[in-house]
Each structure stands twice: as C-alpha cells, then as structure tokens.
Amino acid sequence: MIKVEALTKKYGSFTAVDDVAFTAEAGRVTGFLGPNGAGKSTTMRIMVGLTPATSGIAEVSGRRFSALPNPGLEVGVLLDASAQHAGRTGREILTVSQRMMGLPASRVEEMLDLVSLTPTEAGRRVKNYSLGMRQRLGIATALLGEPEVLILDEPANGLDPAGIRWMRDLLRGYADQGGTVLLSSHLLHEIEVIADDLVVIGQGRIVAQGTKAELLRTAGTFVRTGNVPDLAEALTTSGLTFAPSAATGSNDALRVDADPELVGEVAMQAGIALTELRAADGAGLEEMFLELTADTQREGAVA
C-alpha cells in the first residue's frame, strides 16, 4: 500500500505539490492523472526518496522509502526509462541490480524473458536501445526483486500497441495477485482500461479521487446543438447547471449536471434541436479528465 498525507513541496515561492493526500491500495491499480506540470512526477519522486518534501509524509508499505533496508525487494520504481547507464548492456544493468539486492543470478534471465528482450537485445548497449526497449528494461528492473508495490511514471512511452497491451496485462495480473500499482500515464484510454481507482491532480492539488466507476458516474449528460445560447438559457430557466464540454474542443456542446432524459425534455419544450444527447460517461475518462482539469490545461482545451 502507498499512503500520502498532507504532502507539500515548495521551490522558493512556487508550490509544486500542495497538501496532497491519497492512498493506493493493495490488489488495485491506481491511475495518477494530471496535465503537464500538475505535480505528478514531483509527488512520485518524493515517494521514492529522490526529492525531499517540504512537509507531509509519503509511505510505502508503512514506511518511508529511505527507511526500507533493501528497497528493491519492496517497491519497484520506473520514473524515467532513459535514466539508465547508456554504456552498459541490458543484461549488465539487471545484473548490477540483482547483485545489489542479493538475488540469485537466475532472476536476470527470468526478467529478460518476462519483458521479451531477446539474448541479442540483452547483450546490446543501452545507448542503442529504442525507447520501447528501454521501457521494457526499466519494467524488468522494477520487477526484479518481486516487490509488493510498483510506482511507474509513463511506462507505456515508446511502446507499440502490442507492447502497450502486454504491459496492461502484466500490471493487471500483478495487482490481481495482491500487488499495489501506482501508474501515471498520459494515455487516458489505457488508464481507463486498467485502473480500479483514480487520483486526479491539477496545479499541485488533488481535484478528484475515488474509484473509476464512482468518478465516471458523476460526469452528467453530454449534449450538442447548433443553438447553444438558447439551450443554455433554457437549462438555466429550469434550474440546471452546466458547463462547456472540454472534450470536444469546440463551442457547440455542453455537459449538464442532470440525466439525459431531463435535458432532452428541456430542449424539446424550448423547441431546440439537438444533434447529440447521451450520458457523459459514454465519453469515458477523457471527458471527465478534461472537465476536472480545464483550468490547468496548458493547451487550453476549453473553447
């Protein structure tokens, strides 16, 4: 289990992580989501002792990372697949970690086989690896000590569709066997497929957290029309709250905090033609994510 309480990190007057608190449970995959610069990577670096917190705590299996006597046996970490010794071969990198952890030499070959790095690839220097191969090597290193917890930042970067499917199945199986997985990714569809729980961060603060099912149920109704001003007026008159739909990137759609039947009835009584009407959770995680982080998107997703 991972437990974060009142975690704050400041760089001078800038607050990168602001009073963050959440728990990643054993036997579940927790998706950690947020726009670029939201504080995800900083939070994960604090968890594994690479960045000191200004205040608050982050514990893995009930202890701070720095208090773990042999960290690789309890938590597997992949924060940057490119942060590997470019002059060593993949097998050498795994062998160094295997010896430091006091593991049998056979674990190296087991991990190479698990992540599908061939003997030829394992003997190649990492500087000649593709990003996808580095990701596989990083995952092999994280799993080497058979830890109970995995902390992974963008592990699917550089993987082809088959590789993404392989990683998804691997992490799902790991959690189903009782492991804890904290997974950050910009591939929202992959998070939606694999995650049990979601933690969404924006501008250093948690903006939503809960089970995936709970959060997606709160999405409301997605409605599209060529006459948004009149629909907005009708919804306001009916006492319904709404906002521009961030998922479309245009100004012809709204997300309404009501069920589709009621929204359709309001539109019909006002004589407004609709081109689309559905439960917003049909748009899935992308719709929910963009709505929750609309104020923190660098690209300005909301029209």
pLDDT of residue 191: 87
Give the C-alpha separation, 143 to 41, whole Å: 20
The Cα 54–Cα 11 span in angstroms is 9
272: helix, coil or strand?
coil
SS3 (DSSP) at 112: helix
| Confidence class for position 5, pLDDT limits 50, 70, 90 | very high
| Spatial distance between the Cα atoms of 33 and 13, rounded to a whole number of angstroms | 24
For the CA atoms of the chain, what is the radius of gyration?
22
- Of the candidates 48, 72, 33, the residue with the CA atom closest to the CA atom of residue 201: 33
User: pLDDT over 90 for what percent of the chain?
Assistant: 71
Is 181 within 8 Å of 168 (Cβ atoms)? Answer: no
Q: Rounded to whole angstroms, how far apart are CA atoms 141 and 157? A: 16
Give the model's pLDDT for residue 271: 95
Tokens at 11, concatenated: 């760089």
Q: How far apart are CA 198 and CA 210, in angstroms?
A: 6
Q: Which helix (H) or strand (E) holds 44?
A: helix 40-47
Give which of 103, 201, 213, 119 is closest to 153, Cα–Cα: 201
41-45, 196-200, 275-279: range with lowest mean pLDDT: 275-279
Q: What are phi and psi of 209, to 5 degrees?
A: -160, 155
**pLDDT per position as a tens digit, 166-213:** 999 999 999 999 999 999 988 787 888 899 999 999 999 999 899 987
Does residue 144 surpass a pLDDT of 90?
yes
Looking at residue 126, the DSSP 8-state letter turns out to be G
| Distance between CA atoms of residues 233 and 93, nearest Å | 63
pLDDT tens digits for 238-274?
999 888 876 555 688 898 888 888 999 999 999 999 9
- Residue 153's Cβ-side half-sphere holds a number of Cα atoms within 13 Å equal to 19
Instruction: Write down the mean pLDDT value for the chain.
Output: 90
What predicted TM-score, i.e. pTM, was given to this entire model? 0.79
Confidence of residue 237 (pLDDT cuts 50, 70, 90): very high
Calculate the CA dihedral of residues 138, 141, 146, 148 and round it to 10 degrees.
Answer: -50
The domains found in the chain, sorted by start residue, are 2-209 (3.40.50.300), 218-296 (3.30.70)
Which residue blocks in 184-244 are alpha helix, DSSP H? 188-194, 212-217, 228-237
pLDDT at 30: 97
Q: What is the pLDDT of residue 258?
A: 83
pLDDT category at 298 given cuts 50, 70, 90 is low
For residue 299, pLDDT over 50 is answered with yes
Q: Is the pLDDT of residue 300 over 50?
A: no
Q: Does position 115 have pLDDT exceeding 60, yes or no? A: yes
Taking the C-alpha atoms of residue 289 and residue 303, their distance in angstroms, rounded to an integer, is: 16
- Measured between alpha carbons, how far is 62 from 3 in angstroms, rounded to an integer? 8
**Residue 284 identity (one-letter amino acid):** G
The per-residue pLDDT for range 10-19, each reduced to its tens digit, is 999 999 999 9
Whole-angstrom Cα distance, residue 198 to residue 217? 13
